Structure 1
Amino acid sequence: MREEDFSTADDEVVRFTSELIRIDTTNRGGGDGDEREAAEYVAALLDGAGLEPRLLESAPRRSNVVARIPGTDPAAPALLVHGHLDVVPADPAVWRVHPFSGEVRDGMVWGRGAIDMKDAVAMVAAVARHWSRTGRRPRRDIVLAFTADEEASAAYGAEWLVRTHPELFEGCTEAVGESGGHTEHVRTPDGRTVRLYPVAAGERGTAWLRLRATGTAGHGSRPNDDNAVRALASAVARIGDHRWPHRLTPLTRAAITEIGAAVGVKVDLDAPGFDADRDLPALLDRLGDAAGMVRGTVRESANPTMLDAGYKVNVIPGDAAAGVDGRVLPGGREAFEEALDALTGPRVDWEYEHSSPALESPVEAPIFAAMRAALLAHDPEGHVVPVCMAGGTDAKQFSELGIAGYGFTPLLMPPGLDRDGMFHGVDERVPVEALRFGVRVLDRFLAAAE
C-alpha cells in the first residue's frame, strides 16, 4: 500500500488525539469520574467508519463504547482491542502547556492522556476509518472496547462490561491493549545504541491494601503504650524497608534472555548454580539501560502511599490507617500474603482494598509473531522483546472471560523522550510522527493477525 494512502489517516490521528485530550475525563477515584463526552466523541468516529457502536453506561456519565468490525473469516476467533477513556488528574500550574489543551507544538501533541492513552484510542479509530475508506477488512472479527474507570478499579468500566455484557466479547480469544510496542533506545555494553520494542505478554497482579491499627485514645502529653499511630508507623516502615526476593517467571526469563541477545550480553539462566536472588542483580547491571524494562517485574513490591490518622496534634487517636500499593508476580500471591502478615505483626490488620490477578500470555503464540512482524516491517533494525508490565490494565478484567491479553500500543519514540516517565507525569506529550507510525503498524497487525 502506497504511503500517500495514509494521508487522511495521518491528519485524523493527530486531530483525534488532540480533540480527545481537550475532553476532560479526569478520574479521581471513588466513583468521581465522567467519560460521557469522550465516549460520545469516539462513538461518532466509529459511526463514521460504518460501524454500529454501542454506548453503555454503568452509572450516570460513566460511559463505555463497544463496536465490532466483521472479519473475512467467520471461523476465525475474534480479537479484542481495548483502551480506556479516563485519565489521572493534572495540575495546570506545573505544566508548560495546559494539560487539557491538546495543543500541537514542536511536533508533539501535548496534554493529559497523550501517552496514557488517548493516543491509542485515536490510532485505533483512525485505522477503522481508514479501512472504511479503502475497503480493507481484517481476517478476524475485531471487537473494539473503549472503557471508563481504568485509572481506578475498572468497576465502572471493563469489570462492569465483563460482568453484565459478556456477550459483546463472544468469540474473543486474545486481546491487545495498553502499553508495549513503543521504541526504547538503549545503550549496549559495547557502546552501540539499539532500538528495542517491548511487547507486554503479562502483568503483575494488583494488591492495593488498607492497613489499620487501633489503640487507646488519649491526651498527647501523657504516656501511652497503646498508640495506634506508633503501631501503624512501625508496620509501614517495615513494609517500606522489606527486601522482596528476586523471582523469575517464564515470561521474565524470556524477557531477560531476548533482551540480552539484542544488546549483546550472554544470558544463561539455566547455568549450574545460578541463583536468582543472588545473581540476578549483577546480570541486570550488565544489561545496562535495557534492564529498566525488567527491573520492576523480577520481584513483588509493596509501596506505602497513604497515611490517615488523628485530627489534632495534642490528641492521640484511637485508630490509624494507611494505604499500600502492592504488586504480585504470577504464582506469588500466597507468599505475598504471608509476608504481609509477618510485616504488619499482631498490632496491625490489613485487607485488600482492590485485588486483581497476575497475568501471563504465551510468547510463542501466532499473535505475538504477528505483532513482531508488524513492528519489524516498519523498523527492520529494531528488536521486539517480550516483557511483563509492572502495573496493570483492563486486560485483567477481560482475562475473566478467558481472553489472553497483550500490551501493544505501537509508537516510534525519538531518543531522549522519556515515554515511561510521562505516564501520570507532568508535560505528557506524544510525537506526531509516533502516532502516524502507530497507525501503520496497527493497520498491518490488525488486518493480518492470526
Structure 2
Amino acid sequence: MSPIVFLATLLLSVPVAIVLAITAIWYIWESGNTVLYDSFAQKMFGGLENYGLLAIPLFMLTGELMNEGGMTRRLVALARVFVGGFRGGLAYINLLSNMFMAAIIGSATAQIAVMSRAMVPAMEEEGYSKGFAAATTAAGGLLAPVIPPSMMFVIFGVLAQIPIGDMFIAGIIPGLLLAGAFALVITLVGWFQQFPKGVWMSRRDAMQALIAALPAMLIPVSIIGGILFGIATPTESAAIASLIAFLVGWLIYGELKPQHLGEMFKRTAANASMILFMIAAASVFGWVIIYEEIPQQLAGLITSITSNPFMFLLIVNAALLLVGMVIDGIAAIILITPILLPIATGSYDISPYQFGVVVCLNLVLGLLTPPVGIGLYIASSMSGTTPGAILKSLWPFLIAVAAVLILLSYVPSLSTYLI
C-alpha cells in the first residue's frame, strides 16, 4: 500500500517533502510497530545533524549578496575582455559569465534568473534572436550544479556520506567539459546563422574591467581555492565567501546597503528551509527503503539485464531523464540516491563521485524540459519570450549535455582524476 500512497500523493502535486513524510508514516502505521512512531521525529532531526548542510544557506546567501552588491555586472564585463571580440562574442560572454557565476551561486534556478535579466536584453540589442539569447542563458545555468560549489553536490555528499569537498573537486573536469561543449555549440550555430561580429575592448577599457572585477573574483577563488588546498571545508568556504561578498558589495562597490540584509536573510532562510525539510523527510523515507530492501531487489533485477557498469549508467540516465521531467532536481536526488547508489557502488563497483556527477547533471536537465521545466519558465518570464521559442534554440545545447553525460558515464577518470 505504501507505494500506492507515494505515487498517488506525487501525482496530486503534493510537495515532495510532504510526500516522503506521509509515505514513511503510512509504512510505519502498516507495520504496526508503535516503537517506530516514537522515533519518527528523532529520525527526521537526525537527518539534519550534518555539518555540511550548513553550506546550503551560506551559498544561497552568497548569491543574494553578490547580486545585490553589483558583482554580476562586473563579471559580465570581465568575460567581455576575454571573448568579446569573437563572432558571436556576446554569446561567448554569456557562457563565460555563467561559468564565473556557477563558481559562486551553486544553484541553477538562481543563476538562470540572474543571468536572464543581465544578458538577454543586451544580446537582443546586438541582433540575436530573443529565443537564442534566452536558450544560451538557460543552458549556461546547467553549469551551476556541476562547477563547484553546487548545492546538489552538497546534498548528494550528505546522502552518500562522502566528503563534500571531494565531491566539489570531482565536478571540475566535467564542468569544464560541459562549458567546452556549449562553446562548440555556439561556434557551430554562429557559422550557420552568421552571428554579429564582436568588438574587442580597448586596452584601457579592458584594464578597467579587470581591476573592477578583481574584488568579485575573490569569491570563487576563496571557495574553490580553500577546498582544493585544504585550507577550509566547503561550509567554511561558503561562510568566508558570504563575508567577502558582503564586504566587497558594501565597502568597495558601494551598492550593497546594510539595511537590506534583513530582507536577504529572510529570502535565504525561506529558500533553504524548503530544501532542508526535504532532506529531513528523506532521511525517514530512506530508512523505509532500506528496511524494505528495495535497493537489493532492484539490484537483482538490473544485474539480470546487464553486468556492464557503462550499460547500467546508460539505463540510469534514461530513467532519470524521465524522472527529471516531472520532479525537481533536488527532490529527485533526495529520492533516488538511497535506492540507486548502493546498486552502483555494490553491484557495479562504480565510484560514488562518478555516479554523483552523472546523476546531478542528468537531473538538472529537467529544469529545461517540459512538463515541469522550472528553469525554462524562469528564462521565459525573465526574458519575455515563450518557452516554445526558447526550446527551438535550446535543442543543440541539450544534445551537447547528452553527449557529455555519455562520456562521463564511459570514462570514470573524468570525475575521479583530481580527487
Higher Rg of the two aligned structures: 1
Q: TM-score, normalised by structure 1?
A: 0.26
Structure with greater proportional helix content: 2
TM-score relative to the length of structure 2: 0.27
Q: Considering fraction of residues, name the structure with more strand.
A: 1
